Structure 1
Amino acid sequence: MRRSPWATLVVLALAQFMVVLDVTIVNVALPDMQADLGFSSDDLQWVISAYTLAFGGFLLLGGRLGDVLGRRRVFAGGLAIFTAASLVGGLATSQWFLVGARSVQGFGGALMSAAALSILTVTYAAGRERNIAMGIWGGLAGLGGTLGVVAGGVLVDVAGWEWVFFVNVPIGVVLLLLTPSTVADSRVTSDGPRSFDVAGAALGTGAVLAVIYGVIRAEPLGWGSAEVIGSLVAGILLLALFLLTESRSAAPLVPLRLFRSRTLSRSTLVLALNGGAFLAMFFLTAIFLQQGKGLSALETGLEFLPMGIAAIVGAMVATQVLPRIGTRPTQVVSAVVSLLGLLLLSRASADGSYVTELLPGLVLYGAGIMGVGVPAQITALSEVAHEDAGAASGVINTGYQVGGALGLAVISTLATSATTSALTGGASVQAALTDGFQRGLLLTAVLGGAILVLAALSRQLVPSPDEIAELAAA
């Protein structure tokens, strides 16, 4: 059966649009979820972290399953899981019911996203055709993140927080119906190992979960408590088992030889820090705008919109200047712009003006974040052998997701501690929330400073426009 490659692109790009949309659309609904389901300030971050951890933890497994079982089958399976978990999330009546649904949603998103990218790669020949497809894929993903904050605000204010999940259901069902007729199946046909390394995915994800749980529980219990120490030790042991498993696996999710490349390791760290800074900034600002400044969900979404537009513009500018000045200057300038944005945001107050206190910081941060990420992706793959390119791409995407979850856990926990301390000292709720927000943004700026240092030490490359189009989308 002959299938139009552009019909394939529409289905795959809309699926990725839905996955990215889900990251931002949920943020503006957090205060309503907290009020309705009784989340504590510490536990609320699990609504975000459960999704990003499962997504990052199983992204590599999703790619491997697609290679062995068939990419269309894995894509459709991931899409079905994501859609069903969205329905369950909207029906959740307790906080951990919702967190569980978000974990399953992240797992489905990982399978779907990894398989979709592989399908795009084999559907379009290298060169202009693939670059156009990847550009549309990446552009729709970026648009999903931008529209999510506004769509989330509308849905929460008009219908309730449940609809930020229910909205995925009809889209997912339609895409599932279209997949058999629009997406061709493919798989790797080599005689190499056909194992899945499920143990590696479970151990890696479990290690990060244990560490994050320990960090979060340290705020109410103290770092010396048995629960916190036990969780952190468990995380370290699981990480050791993960490394041992990967070193002995015939088909590891993460070939450890990749980390002999200092460039790959350093670039992955930059992307992890970038993910942590972004999720922490987004989470804290969404809470501050609604609980500290008293805005509605829709008003919050609209105030985030300039940041999303700035990010799209920043990505366009970065792709234009990279072939002229190279990766290091682009990354350094973008890191400075992002850091300045975070420092400006950290000075915002509950009764201050949006135009003077929040808008400049949001625009600067949005403009700089893509100029950090795109060069990091390009340099990360610069020393990787062709046969390891897929695994390396999975590693850096996983690094971004896991770094985001870890950064969010540490920064939001310390911000909550500042809020609690201020309340204990007799501050008003509004003043305490402002204290927590400002501390959180300053800590996020510390991540931004680390990104700047790493950017200054990064390898200088001058990529071609074709390399930028393909690698930035991946």
Structure 2
Amino acid sequence: MSLEHESAQETGKGAVVSVEDGHRPWSILAVVGIAQMLAMLDSTVVNVALPSIGDDLSVSSQALQWTISGYVLTYGSLLLFGGRLADALGRRLVFLLGVSLFVVASVGAGLASTGAVLVTSRVVQGVGAAVLSASALSIIIATYRSDRQRNIALTVWSGLGVIGATIGVIFGGLVVEYVSWRWVFLANVPIGVVLALAALQAVAPMRREPGSRRLPLRLPSAVAVTFALCCMSYAFIDLQDGADRSRPWGFLVVGAVVLAAIVEYERRSTDPLLPLFLMRIKTFSLACAGMVMAATLLLGSLYLGSNYFQKAGGLTPLETGFALLPLCAGSLVAAFGIPSVAEKIGMPRVYLGGVLVQFLAVVALAAVIWNVGSSVPTGVVIALLGVYGLGLPTMFVPLYTFGAAEIPERHSGTGSGLLNTFNEAGAGIGLAIVAPVAAYIAGTQASGGTPAPSAEAHGIAAGFTVAGACSLIAGLIAVAIVRAFRIAETAGT
């Protein structure tokens, strides 16, 4: 049965009528999938452009880092509120708002004449990305209701997101090499305009059933939660420069205390901003924990792989981008094979297989680089990263499927925002863990007289060892998920 035929047969129940009524679901999926790819691409695309930006705008390396950190900070902090906006004001309206903010900020970044303007534009761009990403996942949850529909839709959506994150380095390298760093940002503009026009055609406005009421925005709670997440996100960013300082830990404690206080306050609310009831559902809470580990592995390993090619292997940024192509290709192949494999063995086992592939790849990378150092043939590292790429979508797609299946349509925006927030938390944790470990080991080796390329290689090997430990934790989560589904199947028979 085609996706269109299935969607046309199903009708929604609950306070909100489905967005797919009278619309072609493949068009909706194309819009939200490309939007997610764009948001994730912009989280990595700037990395290789930083030297060119610094030279052109005469910006210090510390200020330059905020062109990345500013985007990540607002993106991770506002996903939950972006989801609430989608539930309260309508998914299409909020999606269009997010795309519009993203496009305007991209223009500002592309035309920036100072570092301050560039960083400010990137902060606003992160706000737009958070709003469009949360509303996009909300649209998927509300549109595709059967397990098969949702599996296909989430495979495409999350697969495109993973691909966007991995090709960002490649795209950035090509643009900087052959055009200008400004087009790293300006290229978003025509894509964003087309997405907005397509969304107006593909996604219907949200219609409410007679007698239903709009969810309140709960702005005081939203401000408090955003502040808490912002503090914690900043702490993870600051930890990348070392864990021996009090500042990042202070921000982490403040964020955790404020978040704990608002969670306790929200427990007594009839329409809470935080969908705490979801965390009491075992598969959803396990999916959130798995999301943290998956994002930790993704961002941590991308960071380590890029650093190995440039610092230990001596490749240029553009050459590094091309060296990461097999990783992207592996992700692409695995992503679009997931639905058919899941129909045969089940999505929980797909996830378990993805975790196993990730574990084997990062352990092999750690072992080879630690023992051989910077003399490892580049082709070996490229091949192992390609294998690693196979495991990326086979972790993310099942986790989004497990989490989304438990989110009721009325809370599709807030629930998807919560799921994505755990994803972004993992991204911050990944860099906060592997970057200081790699830097410390590299520094220790260099101070002992080890040549710089070999010292960097040993630091990167230590980082991959940490990633291997994270994949073991992900393995425990995967086993728990498989057991939970097995118990549910037994209870249902």
Q: In which range does the TM-score fall when normalised by the shorter chain?
A: 0.7 to 0.9
Residue 61 of structure 2: SS of its match in structure 1?
Answer: coil
Q: Does 1:430 align with 2:450?
A: no
What is the total number of aligned residue pairs between the two structures? 458
Taking structure 1 as the reference length, the TM-score comes to: 0.82
Residue 456 of structure 1: SS of its match in structure 2?
Answer: helix
1:96-111 equivalence runs, <5 A: 98-111=118-131
Q: Does 1:419 align with 2:442?
A: yes
Instruction: In structure 2, give the amino acid aligned to 1:309.
Output: A
Match of 1:21 in 2: 41
Deviation at 1:451, TM superposition (A): 0.6
Do the aligned partners of 1:221 and 1:228 also contact (CA within 8 Å) in 2? no
- Of the structure 1 ranges 88-97 and 400-409, higher mean CA displacement relative to structure 2 is found in 88-97
Match of 2:4 in 1: none
Structure 1: distance between partners of 2:70 and 2:344:
40
Match of 1:192 in 2: 213
Instruction: In structure 2, give the amino acid aligned to 1:39.
Output: S
Do the aligned partners of 2:326 and 2:386 also contact (CA within 8 Å) in 1? yes
Taking structure 2 as the reference length, the TM-score comes to: 0.80
1:340-386 superposed Cα distances (whole Å, 9 cap, x missing partner)? 11122223343431112x12321221111222223333334566667
- Of the structure 1 ranges 280-289 and 382-391, higher mean CA displacement relative to structure 2 is found in 382-391
Residue 272 of structure 1: SS of its match in structure 2?
Answer: helix
Do the aligned partners of 2:82 and 2:417 also contact (CA within 8 Å) in 1? no
Q: Does 1:38 align with 2:60?
A: yes
Q: Does 1:54 align with 2:74?
A: yes
1:59-138 equivalence runs, <5 A: 59-92=79-112, 98-119=118-139, 137=157
Match of 2:228 in 1: 207
Q: 1:338 to 1:48 in 2, by over 3 A?
A: farther
Q: 1:72 to 1:373 in 2, by over 3 A?
A: closer
Deviation at 1:296, TM superposition (A): 2.3
Residue 459 of structure 1: SS of its match in structure 2?
Answer: helix
Do the aligned partners of 1:146 and 1:309 also contact (CA within 8 Å) in 2? no
Instruction: In structure 2, give the amino acid aligned to 1:192.
Output: R
Structure 2: distance between partners of 1:334 and 1:139:
13
1:54-113 superposed Cα distances (whole Å, 9 cap, x missing partner)? 223322322322333233332222111111222333345666654443332121012123
Instruction: In structure 1, give the amino acid aligned to 2:127.
Output: F
| Alignment partner of 1:353 out of 360, 377, 384 | 377
Do the aligned partners of 2:297 and 2:471 also contact (CA within 8 Å) in 1? yes
Structure 2: distance between partners of 1:386 and 1:241:
27
Structure 2: distance between partners of 1:383 and 1:6:
23
Match of 1:455 in 2: 478
Q: 1:422 to 1:160 in 2, by over 3 A?
A: farther
Q: 1:296 to 1:257 in 2, by over 3 A?
A: same
- Of the structure 1 ranges 247-256 and 139-148, higher mean CA displacement relative to structure 2 is found in 139-148
Do the aligned partners of 1:45 and 1:408 also contact (CA within 8 Å) in 2? no
| Alignment partner of 1:232 out of 243, 247, 252 | 252
Do the aligned partners of 1:268 and 1:399 also contact (CA within 8 Å) in 2? yes
| Alignment partner of 2:282 out of 262, 272, 280 | 262
Match of 1:284 in 2: 304
Q: 1:289 to 1:45 in 2, by over 3 A?
A: farther
Do the aligned partners of 1:25 and 1:148 also contact (CA within 8 Å) in 2? yes
Residue 458 of structure 1: SS of its match in structure 2?
Answer: helix
Do the aligned partners of 1:306 and 1:362 also contact (CA within 8 Å) in 2? yes
Q: Which runs of no fewer than 5 residues in structure 1 stay unpaired?
A: 463-474
Q: 1:414 to 1:235 in 2, by over 3 A?
A: farther
Match of 2:385 in 1: 362
Identity of aligned residues (%): 34
Deviation at 1:423, TM superposition (A): 4.0
Match of 2:401 in 1: 378
Q: 1:268 to 1:10 in 2, by over 3 A?
A: closer
| Alignment partner of 2:417 out of 375, 391, 394 | 394
Deviation at 1:269, TM superposition (A): 0.5
Residue 46 of structure 2: SS of its match in structure 1?
Answer: helix
Deviation at 1:261, TM superposition (A): 2.1
Do the aligned partners of 2:446 and 2:452 also contact (CA within 8 Å) in 1? yes
Do the aligned partners of 1:57 and 1:201 also contact (CA within 8 Å) in 2? no
Structure 2: distance between partners of 1:382 and 1:118:
12
Q: 1:38 to 1:281 in 2, by over 3 A?
A: farther
Instruction: In structure 1, give the amino acid aligned to 2:397.
Output: V
Do the aligned partners of 2:110 and 2:183 also contact (CA within 8 Å) in 1? yes
Residue 312 of structure 1: SS of its match in structure 2?
Answer: helix
1:183-232 superposed Cα distances (whole Å, 9 cap, x missing partner)? 4322545643532134444433433443454455567686464x345323
Do the aligned partners of 1:273 and 1:451 also contact (CA within 8 Å) in 2? yes
Q: 1:74 to 1:282 in 2, by over 3 A?
A: same
Structure 1: distance between partners of 2:94 and 2:112:
26
Do the aligned partners of 2:155 and 2:335 also contact (CA within 8 Å) in 1? no
Deviation at 1:137, TM superposition (A): 4.7
Deviation at 1:140, TM superposition (A): 4.6
Do the aligned partners of 2:134 and 2:416 also contact (CA within 8 Å) in 1? no
Do the aligned partners of 1:207 and 1:239 also contact (CA within 8 Å) in 2? yes
| Alignment partner of 1:152 out of 172, 193, 215 | 172
Residue 475 of structure 2: SS of its match in structure 1?
Answer: helix
Q: Does 1:307 align with 2:331?
A: no
Q: 1:283 to 1:31 in 2, by over 3 A?
A: farther
- Of the structure 1 ranges 434-443 and 322-331, higher mean CA displacement relative to structure 2 is found in 322-331
Structure 1: distance between partners of 2:153 and 2:287:
25
Residue 350 of structure 1: SS of its match in structure 2?
Answer: helix
Structure 2: distance between partners of 1:217 and 1:16:
26
Deviation at 1:338, TM superposition (A): 0.5
Q: 1:16 to 1:65 in 2, by over 3 A?
A: same
Residue 470 of structure 2: SS of its match in structure 1?
Answer: helix
